[in-house]
Amino acid sequence: MKKEITFLDAFKLVNELSYLQNGRVRDVKSRKNELFLMIYSGREYWLRIVPGRFFSVQFNKPDETINFPFTSKLKDTLVNKSVVLSLHKSDRILDIKVGDYLLIAELFSNGNVVLAERDKIIWSMFARKYGTREIKSGEEYVYPPGKADVTTLNYDGFKETIMKSDRESIVKCLAVDLSLGGVYSEELIFRCGIDKSLKPNEVKDEALNKLYEELKKVLLDEVKPNIINKEVLSTIELKHLNGEKVYFESINEAVKSFFSEERVNKPESRKEEAISKAVDQYKENVRFLEENFDKISDIIKIARDSSTSLDKRRGEIKRLGFAFSDKYITSEANKGVTIDITQPLRYQLGKIYSKIKSANSQIKRRENKTQLIKAKIKKEDKWYSKYIWFFTSSGILGILGKNNDQNVSIVKKYAEPGDIVLHADIFGSPFCVVKREKNKEITEEDIKEAARMTASYSSAWKANASNIDVYYVDSSQVTSSPPAGEYLTKGSFYISGKRNYLNKVELHVYLNISIEEGEIKLSVSPAKKSETYFLFKPGNSPRKAAISFVRKEIAEKTGYDIPADEIDKMLPSGGLEVIENRVISK
Residue-wise pLDDT for 405-430, tens only, equals 888 889 999 999 999 999 999 988 99
Number of helices and strands (H, E) in the chain?
Answer: 16, 32
At residue 531, what are phi and psi to the nearest 5 degrees?
Answer: -70, -35
Spatial contact of 554 and 513, defined as CB atoms under 8 Å apart = yes
Q: What is the C-alpha end-to-end distance of the chain, expressed in Å? A: 38
Domain check: are 393 and 486 in the same one?
yes
Domain check: are 47 and 118 in the same one?
yes
pLDDT higher than 80, residue 566: yes
pLDDT higher than 60, residue 368: no
Position 378 in a domain: no
| Rg, Å, the chain Cα set | 31
| 219 DSSP 8-state letter | I
**386-411 burial, b for 16+ CB within 10 Å, e for fewer?**
ebbbbbbeeebbbbbbbeeebbbbbb
CATH number reported for the structural domain that contains residue 174 in this entry: 1.10.8
Residues 98-124 have a mean pLDDT of 94
Per-residue pLDDT band for 479 (boundaries 50, 70, 90) equals confident
Which secondary structure element, helix H or strand E, spans residue 555, and what is its range? helix 543-558
Spatial contact of 39 and 26, defined as CB atoms under 8 Å apart = yes
**Distance between CA 245 and CA 243 in Å, rounded?**
6
At residue 257, what are phi and psi to the nearest 5 degrees?
Answer: -65, -40
Residue-wise pLDDT for 515-546, tens only, equals: 876 788 999 999 988 889 999 999 887 888 89
Would you tell me how many other CB atoms lie within 10 Å of the CB of residue 24? 16
Give the total residue count for the chain: 586
Position 381 in a domain: no
Domain check: are 302 and 192 in the same one?
no
Position 345 in a domain: yes
Lowest mean pLDDT among 61-70, 104-113, 486-495: 486-495
**Distance between CA 311 and CA 304 in Å, rounded?**
13
From 219, 236, 258, the end of a domain falls on: 258
Position 143 in a domain: no
Question: Phi-psi category of 367—alpha, beta or left, where left has phi over 0 and alpha has psi -120 to 50?
Answer: alpha
Residues 53-59 have a mean pLDDT of 93
Lowest mean pLDDT among 50-59, 303-312, 352-361, 467-476: 352-361
List the one residue out of 281, 283, 302, 286 whose CA is nearest residue 345.
Answer: 286
As a whole-number percent, the residues of the chain with pLDDT over 70 amount to 94
Domain check: are 311 and 209 in the same one?
no
Position 1 in a domain: no
From 258, 288, 316, the end of a domain falls on: 258
Position 521 in a domain: yes
Q: Average per-residue pLDDT in the chain?
A: 88
- In degrees, rounded to 5, the angle at the alpha carbon of residue 25 between the alpha carbons of residues 22 and 26 is 135
Q: Could you give the angle at which helices 293-304 and 266-291 cross, rounded to 10 degrees? A: 80
Domain check: are 131 and 14 in the same one?
yes
Q: Are strands 494-495 and 478-479 parallel, antiparallel or unpaired?
A: antiparallel
Residues 329-352 have a mean pLDDT of 86
Lowest mean pLDDT among 136-145, 443-452, 481-490: 481-490
Q: What is the pTM of this model?
A: 0.52
Residue-wise pLDDT for 428-452, tens only, equals: 899 999 999 888 889 999 999 999 9
Per-residue pLDDT band for 123 (boundaries 50, 70, 90) equals very high
Domain check: are 298 and 414 in the same one?
no
Domain check: are 514 and 502 in the same one?
no
Domain check: are 560 and 530 in the same one?
yes
From 506, 533, 548, the end of a domain falls on: 506
Domain check: are 57 and 116 in the same one?
yes
Local structure of 268: helix, strand or coil: helix
Domain check: are 18 and 122 in the same one?
yes
Residue of higher predicted confidence among 58 and 145: 58
Spatial contact of 376 and 518, defined as CB atoms under 8 Å apart = yes
Per-residue pLDDT band for 357 (boundaries 50, 70, 90) equals confident
Range of the domain at 71: 7-135
Residue-wise pLDDT for 275-333, tens only, equals: 777 778 888 888 888 888 999 999 999 999 989 999 999 999 999 999 998 889 988 88
**Distance between CA 402 and CA 250 in Å, rounded?**
14
Residue-wise pLDDT for 205-263, tens only, equals: 999 999 999 999 998 878 999 999 889 999 999 999 988 889 998 999 999 999 885 44
Give the pLDDT score at 290: 86
**Distance between CA 352 and CA 370 in Å, rounded?**
27
Give the pLDDT score at 558: 82
Q: How far is CA 68 from CA 46, 79, 121, 282, 554, in A?
A: 18, 16, 18, 36, 38
CATH number reported for the structural domain that contains residue 68 in this entry: 2.30.310.10
List the one residue out of 97, 94, 73 whose CA is nearest residue 83.
Answer: 97
pLDDT higher than 60, residue 397: yes
Position 194 in a domain: yes
**Distance between CA 131 and CA 422 in Å, rounded?**
60
Spatial contact of 403 and 458, defined as CB atoms under 8 Å apart = no
**229-258 burial, b for 16+ CB within 10 Å, e for fewer?**
eeebbbbbebeebeeeebebbbbbbbbbbb
Domain check: are 339 and 443 in the same one?
no
pLDDT higher than 70, residue 371: no
**Distance between CA 550 and CA 247 in Å, rounded?**
24
Residue of higher predicted confidence among 268 and 569: 569
**Distance between CA 14 and CA 54 in Å, rounded?**
12
Position 146 in a domain: no
Would you tell me how many other CB atoms lie within 10 Å of the CB of residue 131? 7
Give the pLDDT score at 580: 92
**Distance between CA 494 and CA 421 in Å, rounded?**
12
Which of 144-148, 176-180, 220-224 shows the highest mean pLDDT?
176-180
**Distance between CA 586 and CA 565 in Å, rounded?**
23
Count structural domains, the chain.
5
Which secondary structure element, helix H or strand E, spans residue 502, and what is its range? strand 500-506
List Cβ<8 Å contacts ≥24 apart for 488-493: 490/404, 490/408, 491/403, 491/404, 491/405, 491/407, 491/408, 493/411, 493/431
Domain check: are 489 and 543 in the same one?
no
Residue-wise pLDDT for 69-81, tens only, equals: 889 999 999 999 9
